[in-house]
A and B are shown apart, each in its own frame.
Chain A
Amino acid sequence: MSSPTRPTGTTAPRGIALLGVLAVVFLTLPLIGLASRTPWTQLATLLRDPVVIQTLRLSLIASLSALLLSTVLGVPLAWLLARSHFPGRRLVRALAVLPMVLPPVVGGVALLLAFGRRGLFGQLLFDATGLSLPFSTAGVIVAETFVAMPFLVVTVESGLRSLDRGYEEAAATLGATRWTIIRTVTLPLIAPSLAGGMALCWARALGEFGATISFAGNLPGRTQTMPLAVYLELESNPSAAYLLSFVLLAISIAVLVGMRDRYLGQP
């Protein structure tokens, strides 16, 4: 039966369907595995463990600080990339998104060479203020910002690009200054992109491992975030690692649900 009005996509070639199902199985089996081995009964005890609380708190403080820093710096960068024409703009964009494809460990090493006590700028910073970023909570924030900010920049830039400039022009003819326009027209209109970018950025910062461990180390209470703790506990106390992993998974799912219009909605 072949009707010309049949919507495309109702039936798929068998080969494609098979491979697609395989992909879904591959992506969900680990989650099922994690959920099946998570020692639920210990959840309450574990969440009361002062070390876990400390790690969780550090993770939240660092990732939220990274999110704040990424937003404060990333939104203006996205604006520049989307709206202004300056020489080397393509190069700047490439550099801005490089951390997305760079192995995080390499990012951490690079951060060390730039902001380490002997680093390019780290030395200046240390001589001037006595501050040293590596092996400090500030270092964790820097590492997470480095890795996560590009997600926000890319999302907000595409939001700005798809925004009709006419709204801002209309606001200008009504007497609004540039700052008023950005505050009352541009930002509210790109709010979905901004929220999406912030969610992605925060999730990436929360899960950051490679750059953090190579730049900030693994000091409990100062630089040991949840992913680092998971990795460490996997050796000594696997069931704690499973539980912490599950907590991170739950947070990721919460982010995804919060952004359902963007990633779970209809095409």
Chain B
Amino acid sequence: MSLHVDVRLRRGGFALDVALDAGDETVAVVGPNGAGKSTLLRCISGLATPDDGRITLDGRVLDDRERGIHTPPEHRRIGVVFQDYLLFPHRSALDNVAFGLRAGGHRGRAARRRAADWLSRVGLADQAALRPAHLSGGQAQRVALARALAIDPDALLLDEPLAALDVDARQDIRRRLRERLRGFRGPTLLVTHDPIEAATLADRLVVLERGHITQQGTIDDVTRRPRSAWAAQLAGVNLYEGSAADGRVTLHGGGQITAAGVADGAVFVAIPPSAVALFRQRPSGTPRNVWAGRVDGFDRFGDRVRVHLAGTPAVTAEITPAAAAELDLAGGGAVHAAVKATEVTTYPR
């Protein structure tokens, strides 16, 4: 099965312009709030009509604005798990799952039997008679997933499936959700703003910012070679844009970086914070990038300290608490950042 999306949609000042393909895999759509992630899912599920473009699923044309085709949601066979699950409050868990089966033409008793089967598959056989108000967040999510899967959809969309859950419950539920998603054959699109969720559940990432895809690739690709400030933040690396000539990159925001084996032209420069060393005295020797800055702030990051340095360019360094103590960070004054040319990753823009 494969899903092809190529849509444009305008709503007030916001413009969505997205082209993406998904096969039998889980693709995480990540990006900041208001990037258009949910709008994209609404287009694919048919709840929103793109102004322009095409959506096909397994050869079926769902949208083709040029030919005036718009398949309404009820004929798309796309399962959706909504952000707050949107379980029908006036129906039991069983009747929620049976809803789509009934709408699909299954008779009452057959629909209920299949729904019961789905509930036991997600481990909720004992909760079948409960109303959504009496389910825990994790149980509600499983009912929502069972309800979406029960219609035997050709594709599955999940909008922030873990956002409504307590932080404590998430880890366990995330793991089980991954197993269940693996059991589904078909394109699965997962909207999230949580990098851990994306990394655990998805095979591939699509970074959506201000309505446009700024990057897509494997999680490894995106975290090692981010192509936007947001992706860099997600990956936790320092990212700069610049022009390379003769092994040196002149950064657009000011400053220069020497990188090993950089090809001339417009490039991204990525420096992991762990590759940034800090010194009070300017270090000497070795082919290094060294520049002076001022400590702008620092915070704990696991068992490390992340130091934000204002300078040209600004940079975040990750050092040990012992090194931080030695540097006397709170004391103010100039600090020198040093990065080996071999630790700098560059890639064309």
On A, residues with C-beta under 8 Å from B are 164, 166-167, 169-177, 180, 184-185, 188-189, 191
- B90: interface (CB < 8 Å): yes
CA distance A189 to B47 in the complex (A): 20
Segment 68-91 of B: residues with Cβ below 8 Å from A: 72-80, 82, 84, 86, 88-90
Q: A175–B104 contact, CB under 8 A?
A: yes
CA distance A188 to B96 in the complex (A): 14
Q: B147–A174 contact, CB under 8 A?
A: yes
Q: A170–B103 contact, CB under 8 A?
A: no
Q: Which residues of B contact A174 (CB under 8 A)?
A: 74, 99-100, 103, 147-148, 151
Q: Which residues of A contact B77 (CB under 8 A)?
A: 175
Q: A169–B73 contact, CB under 8 A?
A: yes
Segment 31-77 of B: residues with Cβ below 8 Å from A: 45-47, 72-77
Q: B151–A169 contact, CB under 8 A?
A: no
Known: A176-B74, A176-B103, A177-B74. A164 touches B86 (CB 8 A): yes
Q: Which residues of B contact A189 (CB under 8 A)?
A: 88-90
Q: B88–A175 contact, CB under 8 A?
A: no
Q: B89–A175 contact, CB under 8 A?
A: no
Q: A173–B47 contact, CB under 8 A?
A: yes
CA distance A170 to B78 in the complex (A): 11
Q: B47–A172 contact, CB under 8 A?
A: yes
Known: A172-B74, A176-B103. A188 touches B86 (CB 8 A): no
Q: B104–A185 contact, CB under 8 A?
A: no
Q: Which residues of B contact A164 (CB under 8 A)?
A: 86
Q: A180–B79 contact, CB under 8 A?
A: no
Q: Which residues of A contact B147 (CB under 8 A)?
A: 174
Q: A170–B74 contact, CB under 8 A?
A: no
Q: B104–A173 contact, CB under 8 A?
A: no
CA distance A166 to B46 in the complex (A): 13
Interface size grouping (class) on chain B: 20 to 34
Closest residue of chain B to A177 (Cβ to Cβ) is: B74
Closest residue of chain A to B83 (Cβ to Cβ) is: A166
Q: A170–B90 contact, CB under 8 A?
A: no
CA distance A173 to B75 in the complex (A): 8
Q: Which residues of B contact A176 (CB under 8 A)?
A: 74, 99-100, 103
CA distance A179 to B79 in the complex (A): 20
A-B contact pairs, 30 of them (CB 8 A): A164-B86, A166-B82, A166-B86, A167-B88, A169-B47, A170-B82, A170-B86, A171-B88, A171-B99, A171-B103, A172-B46, A172-B47, A172-B72, A172-B73, A172-B74, A173-B46, A173-B76, A173-B80, A173-B148, A174-B74, A174-B148, A174-B151, A175-B75, A176-B74, A176-B99, A177-B74, A184-B99, A185-B88, A189-B88, A191-B90
Closest residue of chain B to A171 (Cβ to Cβ) is: B99
Q: Which residues of A contact B90 (CB under 8 A)?
A: 188-189, 191
Q: Which residues of A contact B72 (CB under 8 A)?
A: 172
Q: Which residues of A contact B104 (CB under 8 A)?
A: 175
Q: Which residues of A contact B99 (CB under 8 A)?
A: 171, 174, 176, 184
CA distance A124 to B75 in the complex (A): 46
Q: Which residues of A contact B75 (CB under 8 A)?
A: 175
B117 to chain A, nearest CB (A): 17
Q: Which residues of B contact A184 (CB under 8 A)?
A: 99
Q: A173–B45 contact, CB under 8 A?
A: yes
Q: B82–A175 contact, CB under 8 A?
A: no
CA distance A176 to B47 in the complex (A): 13
CA distance A176 to B99 in the complex (A): 8
Q: A173–B73 contact, CB under 8 A?
A: yes
CA distance A92 to B137 in the complex (A): 43
Q: Which residues of B contact A170 (CB under 8 A)?
A: 80, 82, 86, 88
A170-B86, A172-B72, A173-B74 are known contacts; what are 5 more A-B pairs with Cβ within 8 Å? A171-B103, A172-B46, A173-B45, A173-B80, A174-B151
Q: B86–A167 contact, CB under 8 A?
A: yes
Q: A166–B73 contact, CB under 8 A?
A: no
CA distance A169 to B103 in the complex (A): 14
A239 to chain B, nearest CB (A): 48
Q: B103–A166 contact, CB under 8 A?
A: no
Q: Which residues of A contact B103 (CB under 8 A)?
A: 171, 174-177, 180
A171 to chain B, nearest CB (A): 7
Segment 91-128 of B: residues with Cβ below 8 Å from A: 99-100, 103-104
B53 to chain A, nearest CB (A): 20
